[in-house]
């Protein structure tokens, strides 16, 4: 019995081995994609929490540069890293559940421009906040927030 099995395996090795290797690779890729999806989900939630805190501080009328700037710096850092959260293969083509639309990769230039807009508006917010003009900071925070919405409209699946 064993010898006929080993003959069977050897005869079909040309098929069996590649299938095993590709499956293992597929599992690895899927695992990598899931990690990327989970990581960016956490990053975006942290950005949302930062924006919420920034808006609440500005709305309360008690905001100072000292309390605002750390949160603004966090969002600026995140916005700059944002494109790196979308490695190839971590989109809907991965077959995994993600809010990212295929356009993130198919319209990559536009995606980078949308991120650049956010970075620019956040840099302006940082400037205004560090000079202490809280009324202007509130306005710029609103403008920066609109960059979030604009990118989501094109690149994020609606909830």
Partner 1 sequence: MALVRVRIWDWPIRVFHWSLAAAIGFAWWTAETGRMQPHRWAGYAVLGLLAFRLFWGVAGGDTARFASFVRGPRTALAYARGLFDRTRPPSAGHNPLGGWSVIALLATTGLMVVLGLFAVDVDGIESGPLSAWVSFDVGRMAAQGHALIFDGLLGLIALHLAAVLFYLVVRRENLVGPMLHGFRRLARDPGHRFASPARVALGVVLAAALAWWASSGFRL
Residues in the site for partner 1, rule: CB under 8 A? Answer: 44-45, 47-53, 55-56, 59-60, 142, 145-146, 148-149, 152, 156, 159
The DSSP code for 62 is -
Contact indicator for 100, 156 with CB cutoff of 8 Å: yes
Structure-token match 């609440």, residue found: 56
Task: For the CB of residue 36, give the shortest distance to partner 1 in the complex, in Å.
Answer: 19
Sequence-distant (6+) residues with CB within 8 A of 7 are: none
> CA-to-CA distance for 41 and 82, rounded, in angstroms?
11
Task: For the CB of residue 45, give the shortest distance to partner 1 in the complex, in Å.
Answer: 7
Task: For the CB of residue 56, give the shortest distance to partner 1 in the complex, in Å.
Answer: 5
Compare residues 52 and 73 and give the one whose CB is closer to partner 1.
52
Compare residues 92 and 145 and give the one whose CB is closer to partner 1.
145
């Amino acid at each position: 019995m064993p010898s006929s099995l080993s003959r069977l395996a050897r005869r079909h090795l040309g098929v069996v081995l590649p299938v095993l290797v590709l499956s293992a690779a597929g599992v690895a890729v899927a695992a990598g994609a899931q990690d990327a999806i989970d990581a960016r989900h956490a990053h975006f939630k942290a950005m949302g929490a930062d924006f919420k805190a920034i808006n609440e501080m500005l709305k309360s009328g008690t905001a100072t540069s000292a309390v605002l700037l750390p949160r603004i710096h966090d969002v600026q850092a995140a916005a700059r890293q944002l494109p790196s959260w979308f490695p190839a293969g971590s989109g809907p083509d991965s077959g995994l559940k993600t809010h990212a639309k295929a356009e993130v990769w198919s319209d990559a230039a536009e995606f980078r421009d949308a991120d650049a807009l956010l970075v620019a508006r956040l840099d302006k917010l940082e400037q205004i906040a560090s000079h202490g003009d809280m009324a202007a900071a509130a306005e710029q925070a609103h403008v920066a927030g609109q960059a979030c919405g604009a990118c989501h409209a094109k690149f994020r699946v609606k909830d």
